[in-house]
């Protein structure tokens, strides 16, 4: 591991941390090593209005996902925080009836389900449970 001390055991936590840090530093965009799962997480963040956009890109021959951050009218980050829930060492699965609202409905949970990656709200609607990856608000 030369140069990048990535959290290779938990790429999703690494991705969330990069977003959090880039926001705090008021960056417009960030790059993270690409993966299908991270693209799905970015898709949900965009659909739910938490980021401006994302796209696959290449940096020094490595496939990355480029995330364009979003700020409010007073330049405050749209994302207040992101929290990793399920981890490689401690997976958290929720049945369809256990999915709760995040921050009183102000936030979202991101889940992997048999029907794909979706928000907790979508999972409830689709009547599926799954692994809860993260909460965003």
Q: What is the pTM of this model?
A: 0.91
54 within domain boundaries: yes
Angle of helix 11-24 relative to helix 36-47, nearest 10 degrees, comes to 40
Is 49 within a domain? yes
In a domain, 126, yes or no: yes
pLDDT digits (tens, 9 = 90+) for 55-65: 999 999 999 99
Expressed as residue numbers, the domain containing 22 is 11-136
- In total, how many domains does the chain have? 1
CATH number at residue 21: 3.30.1370.30
Distance of CA 6 to the CA centre of its chain: 16
| CB atoms near residue 26 (< 10 Å) | 11
Extract the tokens encoding 38: 């991270």
In a domain, 3, yes or no: no
Q: Is residue 1 part of a domain?
A: no
Residues 19-56 pLDDT 10s: 999 999 999 999 999 999 999 999 999 999 999 999 99
Position 18 in a domain: yes
């Amino acid at each position: 591991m030369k140069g990048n001390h990535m959290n290779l055991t938990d790429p999703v936590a690494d991705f969330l941390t990069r977003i959090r840090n880039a926001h705090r530093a008021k960056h417009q965009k960030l790059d993270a090593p690409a993966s299908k799962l991270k693209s799905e997480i970015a898709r949900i963040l965009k659909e739910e209005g938490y980021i401006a956009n994302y796209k696959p890109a290449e940096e020094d021959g490595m496939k990355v996902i480029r995330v364009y951050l979003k700020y409010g009218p007073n330049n405050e980050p749209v994302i207040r925080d992101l929290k990793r829930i399920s981890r490689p060492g401690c997976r958290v699965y929720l049945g369809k009836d256990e999915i709760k609202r995040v921050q009183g409905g102000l936030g979202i949970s991101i889940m992997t389900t048999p029907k794909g990656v979706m928000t907790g709200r979508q999972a409830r609607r689709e009547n599926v449970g799954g692994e809860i990856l993260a909460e965003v608000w």
